[in-house]
Structure formats: structure tokens, C-alpha cells
Chains A and B, each alone.
Chain A
Amino acid sequence: MLNKLKSALLIALLATAVHAEEKGATVTGDRVDADRILFEAEAFRGAGMPGISMKVRIESFNGDEIDAQEMDVNASSGNSLIEFTAPAKLKGRKILMQGRNMWFISPDLRKPVPISPRQRLMGDASNGDIASTDYASDYGATFIRSDVYKGEKCHVLELKSKTSDATYDKIEYWISSASSKGVKADFFAVSGKLFKSADFEYENKIEFKQSKRPFISKMIITDGINADKKTVIHYAQGESKEISPSTFDLNSLLR
């Protein structure tokens, strides 16, 4: 079960995106553009906001089999909390992430269990965490080429992991030149093999700084090896707001 849950981790990770810093601003040369382009794209996934709360539904397709999970997600300052609301067997389970520290909390266990970053990569839907990985913190961006994706002219950035702790060795990220939104990403393992691909949609609106801006509504992840394996993450009721530290207090979550 836990692996399934981990799948969900994906989203939580918006947390990490939420407080991405504008690192590119102080750098010069091509790097400035790449980092700025990356940061602007991250903003549509929550970067720069004080915190985000939203509802998430993950649908995993494997051939004819469909598996769905629903959860409430709160994220702020590199912390995220996922609370499962459906299906019934997962209700009440929680995953807390503080930096690279993660805990799994189950109403049946009564004691939080520390889980490793690798555990969040298990299972199909876990790829969704890719969506919320804080690219700006963990990866250095380089502009590599221009491309056209689904009729949109895009900058393609290569994101290389800055540390050995990063989830993926390399990401290629297509960012629309017109809208500045990330529209596609390819994720590569250390071996250089394509691990996963993802498409992003932005049908949601979120209120931030007294204006409504587009916000991620869907992420469609396709397995790099088995194209029948697909995971769709739906984001809804996104709200930009301050989230108090006590939301991520492990001791308070055991109730």
C-alpha cells in the first residue's frame, strides 16, 4: 500500500516548488535566461507563493486496469503534507515531507515510520512526484535548443542534478516561448535511459497577489519503457495561502 501512497508524493512536492528562489537573477550569460525561464515556468506550479493547499486525484492506468487515489495536499517552504481521502482503504493515511525527510503515518500503526527517498519512486503513480520536484533548487538549467511541441514554439532546457541526492540525473524541460509554461518533460536515469515523460496542462486559475493566474490542472505521465502505463494527476481547488508550521508538526499528525 505504501508504495501506492508514495505515488502520491508526487504532488506534495509542489511544496518544494512553492518557495523556489529566484536564483537566476544574479547569474550572467545564457544561464540567466535559462534560470529565469525555469523560474517563470515554476510559477505556474506554485513557485513564489507562500503556500498552497489543493485537492489531488491520481489515476494510474496499466492496460485496462485503472487505479485512483484522492488526497488533500498542503505545501509550504519545502514542507508538504499529503492526507489520503480515497479510496476507503487509504483514508487517514498521511505522508509528511520536510526536505528529504519523509514519514509515513497510518491510523493503524500509531507510530510514524521514516521512509527513504527511494520509496517514493516505487510504483507507477509515484512518478508524479516529478511534477512537484523543486527543479530550481535541485537542478541547474541550461538552454539547449528551440523546438516545437504540439504546435507551440518552446525553449528546451536541460536540467542537471546539482547533487547526488536529486531524484533524476537529468531532465529535459520544454517551456512554451509564448506562455512561459512548462508543457513537457523527459526524465532520465543515471544510465541515460528515458525514465518517464510528462505533459502538463494549466486549466486552473489561482488567486495570487490580487490577480488570478493560470495554475497546473493536469500532469500526464507516461512510462519510458511501457507506454501502456500512464498516470494522470488532476489538481483542483488550488489556493495560495500561508500555511502554519503546526500543519507540518509530526506530533500533531499522530491524532
Chain B
Amino acid sequence: MSMMRPLTCAALALSLTGQALAENEKVMAGDSIGKWLDENLKHRFVVLGMATQTQPNYDSSININNDLLGIEKSALEAQIKADFELKREIFSLTMKPRYRHQTLWLEEGFNGSSSKRQDRLFINEWSLDIKPDPSVVIGYGREVRQWGPSLFMNLSNPFLLDNGRNNPYQELGGTDFLRIAHLPSYNLSYSLIANVSRGEAEARPDGFKQTYALQTEYSGVDFSLGGILSKRVENNPRLGLYGQWTANEAVILYGELSTGSGRTGCYIHDDASSPIELTFECGQQKSSKLYTNWLTGASYTLLGGGTINLEYAHYAEGYSSDEFNQLTLLNQSLQGYILGGNANADLASYLVARSTSPGLQHLRQNYLFFSYIHNNIINQVDINLRYALGIDDGSSQIIGILDWYVRDDMKLFVLGSKSLGPKNGEFKYFIKSQLYVGFEAYH
């Protein structure tokens, strides 16, 4: 017994020491993981709350009294957005999970029974990049891939139709890319890009089709140029070019274009087999005719701090006046079929869906765009005014965005849009005005 006690004590001591060491190792391991994450993980959290009021265009001859489309007039929305970026030597991982709740009402106000409630938890964007060599990046993931200097349209982008600038509070959905980039120097890059699946991006009327592209960018002392040659499956190849020149300390001149044979979208065609003798054909029209979309613009920074942008865009793939008038007439007919309970109501509904989302960046061909951005006014306020004029039909849209940073971790915002011009003009096609009021809190 006398020997046993010391052995037991020793064993107990060893055991306790071992446990203590293990605990200590765990703490140290925990500390080192914490330190490692602290050094390599960047994160950003945003909570957004927003109320929206929408005034449909009741006079529109294609959606009289909002009977056809049933556009919701009131909405409440909450979003929780998290951005994570883990970067370490040759690899980086980004992850942007989102939670979104929406409650929508057909009538004005936020009382009564809602017409729709939606809750979604999803990964809007993520990517994994590996750099096997300092001049090579191989990446795969779901991204909102945008470039080019223009504010109004992103004409050279074969992957996305919307540049998201009209409403920064509605995130664009990411789409899935594989990218292999070679950067032989600091001012030159070549990228092979494959858009392999739709991901969270908005569906196009002719469905998702894989798109492959070769993109190159060059940056000089006071200018930058880019080009992208792309091929969407079953479509003809298109060439996109974009560039900007810092002309002096206050002025930037820029331009963008895309060109290729055939145009892509939904276009009206005679169709004797259709009960209404017309149909929409969605996709690329097979044609040898060259359609060149182009945009030119300039920005000027005032001494007071605000920046003015002026752009002109020619969108050759948009509808001509005849096509647009035909579209309006067709929509009026379809409305009659649907609301009248015609036997062809289902077909009419299908066509209306196509006509309201025809896969075009804009419906018409010629636009003027003006923007005024002034940030950090009295250290707290950002304002952004945007005005787009459709030259072909005289309709226009004005958007005002005001952000007021009430604290270092919170802002209040108001976004108002108003459409002007003829009742069936593009910008007034469905909506007369919208108002968004909300807050964003950051961590």
C-alpha cells in the first residue's frame, strides 16, 4: 500500500498534468486558430430593413388598372448579408451567404392580408482562387462579374444584362464562372472565362446557355483598355471593347461597344400556326447583319466635390419604333385574351411573360443618360441622381438616392424613382413611381 499510494499519486499527478497540458494545448491551439483567423479572415455583416411603395402605371394600355400583371404596391423586406474572405498565400476563399425575407401586398399600405411572403437563405456569391504562380490565377465560383467605365449600361458584358446601378439595395444574383487568368505584368492581363451555370442570376427568356470568353485588359499611365471575345452556345460570337482615358485631373472620357452578327432577345414574328398569328421568338436571330451596340461618355469632377457623368448609348439590339408599336398592340390583344378568359389565355400569358422580360438590356435603341454623384457631404451624406431619357419614345426616368450615415455603423436611405413621358413609353411601361425607405446597419 505504501508503494501504491505514491504511484497512484504520481499517476494522478501525471494524469492531471497531462489533462492540464492537453487543456493548455487546446487553449493554445484555440488561440493560434483565433490568431490565424484574425490575420487572414476578413468579414462584413450588414442588416438591411426596407419598405417599398410602388405606383403601377394604371393608364398603360397593356396593364390597365394593373389587372393583368398584378404588380404589388407595398413591400417590406429584411436582409442579413455576410461577406467572408479568407486569404492565405496562394489561395483565397470568399463566401457571401444571404437571408432575405419579403412580404408583399397588392394594395397600398402594410395592413391587410399579404399577397406573398418569401423567405430565402442562400449563397449569392462564393469563389475559390488559387495562384499556382504569382502571374496566374485559377478561380471558380459564383460571382457578379462586371467591368467597364459606363454607369448606364454594360454593353460589352456578355454574361449579365443588368449592371445593378439603378437600385444598389437590390443585389444582383451571382452566376457560376471558371476563370483562368494570366498576368504577365502589372498592367496586362489575359483571362479565359467560362460561364458554366446560371446560379442565382435572373433567367433569360431563351434559358441559360454556357458562354465562353477570352478577355484582355491593359492599363497605361492615364488610360485603360479592355476587350472580350465571347461565344454563347448556339449563338454567334461577339466582340466587346471598353476603355477610358483620364484626360486631366477632373475629366475622364470613356466608351464601350459590343458587335456581332445577329441580335439576341425576344422579337415578334408572324406565325400562322399561332391562334393569334403572332409569336415571340426568343434567342439569337440568325442573321448575317451586324448589330453594334455602343456607348460614349464623360465624367467631370467639380471643385466642390460632385461628379457629373453624361452618356449616350446606341443599343442596336433594341426594338425599332415599328417593333415597339407592334409589341404594344400585341400586348393589348393578349391582355384581352387573358382577362376575357379566352381559350388562348394560357398562350397569351406565356407571351406576356416573354414580352415583359424580353432578355434585352433596354427595350429601345437610343438613350441619353445623366448622373450626379456627390459623396461625403458634411461628412455624413451621399447623394446620387440618375436621369435616363429614351430618345426614341420620349419617355424618361429619374432616380434619386440619398444615404445618410447617422453613425459609423448605420445609415438611413431613401430611393425614389419617377417615370415620365408618354403612357406607353418604355420607362412608363408598367411603373410610374417607386419609393424605397430603409436602413442598413454594419458590423
A residues in contact (CB < 8 Å) with B = 1-4, 65, 67, 76-79, 83, 85, 87-89, 91-92, 98-101, 107-119, 121-123, 164-165, 167, 242, 244-246, 248-252, 254-255
Partner of B164, one of A83, A89, A110, A252: A110
Chain A residues lying within 8 Å of B379, measured Cβ to Cβ, are 4, 65, 67
- A101, B244: Cβ atoms closer than 8 Å: yes
CA distance A119 to B139 in the complex (A): 33
A122/B305 contact (C-beta < 8 A), A101-B224, A251-B145, A251-B217 known: yes
Check: B403 CB closer than 8 A to any chain A CB: yes
- B442, A89: Cβ atoms closer than 8 Å: yes
- A122, B376: Cβ atoms closer than 8 Å: yes
For the A-B complex with A101-B224, A251-B145 known, give 9 more contacts whose Cβ atoms are closer than 8 Å. Answer: A2-B382, A100-B222, A110-B144, A113-B151, A122-B305, A246-B134, A246-B136, A249-B183, A252-B139
Check: B120 CB closer than 8 A to any chain A CB: no
B148 nearest CB neighbor, chain A only: A111
Minimal beta-carbon separation of A119 from chain B (angstroms):
5
What bracket does the count of chain B residues touching chain A fall in?
Answer: 35 or more
Chain A residues lying within 8 Å of B408, measured Cβ to Cβ, are 87-89
CA distance A100 to B151 in the complex (A): 20
Chain B residues lying within 8 Å of A118, measured Cβ to Cβ, are 249-250, 301, 303
Chain B residues lying within 8 Å of A167, measured Cβ to Cβ, are 249
- B183, A246: Cβ atoms closer than 8 Å: yes
- B83, A79: Cβ atoms closer than 8 Å: no
Chain A residues lying within 8 Å of B139, measured Cβ to Cβ, are 252
What are 25 A-B contacts defined by CB distance under 8 Å? A4-B376, A77-B186, A79-B186, A88-B44, A89-B405, A89-B407, A89-B409, A91-B44, A92-B42, A98-B219, A99-B221, A100-B221, A107-B44, A110-B163, A111-B148, A113-B151, A115-B252, A115-B301, A245-B134, A246-B131, A246-B134, A252-B129, A252-B139, A255-B85, A255-B141
Among B42, B148, B183, the most chain A Cβ lie within 10 Å of the Cβ of B183
- A109, B165: Cβ atoms closer than 8 Å: yes
Minimal beta-carbon separation of B187 from chain A (angstroms):
6
CA distance A92 to B154 in the complex (A): 23
- A91, B442: Cβ atoms closer than 8 Å: yes
Among A92, A123, A167, the most chain B Cβ lie within 10 Å of the Cβ of A92
A116/B246 contact (C-beta < 8 A), A4-B379, A99-B220, A246-B134 known: yes
Check: B340 CB closer than 8 A to any chain A CB: no
Contact with A along B137-157 (1 / 0, CB 8 A): 101010111111101001000
Minimal beta-carbon separation of A184 from chain B (angstroms):
25
- A98, B224: Cβ atoms closer than 8 Å: yes
Partner of A101, one of B151, B172, B223, B405: B223
A251/B181 contact (C-beta < 8 A), A111-B165, A114-B254 known: yes
CA distance A115 to B299 in the complex (A): 9
A254/B143 contact (C-beta < 8 A), A89-B405, A111-B163, A244-B131 known: yes
- A246, B246: Cβ atoms closer than 8 Å: no
- A116, B250: Cβ atoms closer than 8 Å: yes
Among A88, A91, A100, A251, the most chain B Cβ lie within 10 Å of the Cβ of A251
- B147, A250: Cβ atoms closer than 8 Å: yes
- B252, A114: Cβ atoms closer than 8 Å: yes
A245/B147 contact (C-beta < 8 A), A87-B408, A92-B44, A119-B307 known: no
A112/B146 contact (C-beta < 8 A), A88-B409, A242-B134, A255-B127 known: yes
Check: B185 CB closer than 8 A to any chain A CB: yes
CA distance A4 to B125 in the complex (A): 28
- A1, B146: Cβ atoms closer than 8 Å: no
Check: B268 CB closer than 8 A to any chain A CB: no
Check: B332 CB closer than 8 A to any chain A CB: no
Chain A residues lying within 8 Å of B148, measured Cβ to Cβ, are 111
Minimal beta-carbon separation of B112 from chain A (angstroms):
33
Minimal beta-carbon separation of B167 from chain A (angstroms):
11
CA distance A131 to B149 in the complex (A): 28
Chain A residues lying within 8 Å of B136, measured Cβ to Cβ, are 246
Contact with A along B174-212 (1 / 0, CB 8 A): 000001010111110101000000000000000000000
A72 nearest CB neighbor, chain B only: B42
Partner of B147, one of A1, A123, A251: A251
- B375, A112: Cβ atoms closer than 8 Å: no
Contact with A along B212-241 (1 / 0, CB 8 A): 000101011111100000000000000000
B144 nearest CB neighbor, chain A only: A110
Chain A residues lying within 8 Å of B5, measured Cβ to Cβ, are none
Check: B171 CB closer than 8 A to any chain A CB: yes
Check: B94 CB closer than 8 A to any chain A CB: yes
A87 nearest CB neighbor, chain B only: B408
Partner of A165, one of B44, B222, B223, B403: B222
Chain B residues lying within 8 Å of A114, measured Cβ to Cβ, are 149, 244, 246, 252, 254, 299
